[in-house]
Amino acid sequence: MRDLVLMPEYEPTDEELCILIHNVASEATYKAMNAKKQLRESIAKQIQVTHKKYQIHLMKKLD
């Protein structure tokens, strides 16, 4: 009974497999690009925060 649940009713065609692989690759690419964008934004924000802290430090040092 368990084997019946795990086994598909039919074998997918090569075309169906190609479409599935393409869809998975497209989704992975989209997620990677989104993660890269978020990382860039995070780094830019951290640089801005650090730059402001440095400017405040310099202002205090000059006083």
Helix/strand/coil percent split, the chain, to 5: 85, 0, 15
Distance CA 26, CA 12 (A): 20
- What is the residue range of 20's domain? 13-62
Residue 7 lies in a domain: no
Q: What is the pLDDT of residues 4-34, one digit of tens each?
A: 556 667 888 999 999 999 999 999 999 999 9
**Whole-prediction pTM:** 0.63
Residues in CB range of 12: below 8 A, 6 or more apart? 20
Residues in CB range of 20: below 8 A, 6 or more apart? 12
Residue 5 lies in a domain: no
pLDDT class of 1 with cuts at 50, 70, 90: very low
Residue 36 lies in a domain: yes
